[in-house]
Amino acid sequence: MCGEMAGKKELIPLLLGMGLREFSMNASSILEIRKEINDLKFEKCRGLANKLDDLRTSKEVRELLNGVPELREE
């Protein structure tokens, strides 16, 4: 994934869940995104991506992404 989307912390769980593993982004975003990736549970990210098929609006997608804290390692 290359571009602005790869540098958006809130979208990383979704991108990982969709199977993406290589990201290109602005150098100033690398440390924050690396930490985000290390903190996430990959199995739950896959579940997040699978739920996208049932969503119909951008509001529903935002609500799904707001549930991301539960995807992090404890």
Domain of residue 29, residue span: 4-71
- Distance (Å, whole) CA 22 – CA 41: 17
CB 52 within 8 A of CB 25: no
pLDDT at site 30: 93
CB 9 within 8 A of CB 36: yes
pLDDT at site 22: 93
Mean pLDDT of the chain: 86
- The total number of residues shown for the chain amounts to 74
* Domains contained in the chain, number: 1
Burial class (CB in 10 A: 0-12, 13-18, 19+), 1: middle
Q: What is the mean pLDDT of residues 11-33?
A: 92
- pLDDT score of 68 more than 80: no
Condensed to tens digits (0 to 9), the pLDDT of residues 18-28 reads 999 999 999 99
pLDDT at site 69: 64
Q: How far apart are the first and last CA of the chain?
A: 27
